[in-house]
Structure 1
């Protein structure tokens, strides 16, 4: 839960202020330091970045009554604006999940084995 909250807040700040690809090193570092299981890091990273990108897309889309999102959805032959907004959050979520899992695996690779 702590990793989810940290990554969610950091992802929102990075999404609003910086390029989208900074999600990857951010999730890599937070995943490497906050959890020990790669599968858990992948799920938490996916969920946190998905939530952050979905929130940011809604923040930008709802004030203008989804005018641009509706037009873009029609361009991509999607049924409505919400489908576009959810579809747009998936690449960021995959990036966050895979980066967080990679952070855990890289940390495990450099961890010393205890002597027997």
Structure 2
């Protein structure tokens, strides 16, 4: 469920907001919803990475690869597909680290009940 929330809300907000909204959405989702650290990272990574890759491939195919190939040439990459994979990785890391940060802030302020020590 967290994956779909991040994917849909981020996709809608990317229409109107700057690119860094991909960090705010996973942070807020995992600040409000409880999960473990690994799940928070990988869910944020997968949702934002998939979103950026899907939109990148959409732009690549409607322009017949012209735009992404030219931008790839600026960065000395061999083709536009590699550029799309690198940008999806960067977006995924941004979303994953934001989700992890949200979960860690939640853990910092909402602590578990103390465990009793038995001897």
Unaligned segments of structure 2, at least 5 residues: none
Flag the 1:30–1:54 CA change in 2: closer, same or farther, 3 A. same
Does 2:99 match 1:70? Answer: no
Matches of 2:53 and 2:16, distance apart in 1: 16
Does 2:18 match 1:23? Answer: no
| TM-score normalized with structure 1 length | 0.89
Q: Deviations over 1:53-101 (max 9, x none)?
A: 1112122221110111111212222121100111112222111101101
The residue aligned with 1:40 is 39
Shift of residue 42 of structure 1?
0.2
Task: Give the superposed CA RMSD.
Answer: 1.6
The number of residues matched between the two structures is: 115
Matches of 1:83 and 1:16, distance apart in 2: 24
Considering fraction of residues, name the structure with more helix: 1
Does 2:86 match 1:87? Answer: yes
Shift of residue 48 of structure 1?
0.5
Matches of 1:113 and 1:5, distance apart in 2: 27
Structure number with greater Rg is 2
The residue aligned with 1:12 is 11
